[in-house]
Amino acid sequence: MNFPGRRTTERQHVLHLISFGYLHLGDGCPPLADRVEDVRERLRDPAAARGILDLDGRDPRVQDIVARTPGAQELLANLLAYAELPSGPRRIAIGCAGGRHRSGGLVELLAATLRARGRQVEVEHRHIHLPRVLRP
């Protein structure tokens, strides 16, 4: 039954995608989300690859390198399937060491695919603008 002023489609909520860097978290707690994906051990760090050190995950060159990292396509497919569950998550957070390359690139790739499928997506990059973190 339709009611005036009510939406009739089921998936009207906006999916909020967050990239962040664990090394920038003062308290060590990742952002609140329905799913938090830690890619530090799962995907190798592409930061030194082909001169992308000063770029971030919003750059297509970084996205391409991240997408070709072993394990990235499987992770993206899993995240897409999760994002399209009938009850659907509202927030997905992806974290890497500094929040510049892997997590930023994955969030941008995921957002582009979901938007192409008609989903409303908001992207928040918490640490992408910060300088690269070097461990002591």
pTM of model > 0.85? yes
Q: Where are the domains of the chain?
A: 15-125
- CA angle, residues 103, 107, 111, in degrees to nearest 5: 175
Q: Per-residue pLDDT tens for 81-123?
A: 999 998 889 999 999 999 999 999 999 999 999 999 999 999 9
Confirm if 123 and 57 have CB atoms less than 8 A apart: no
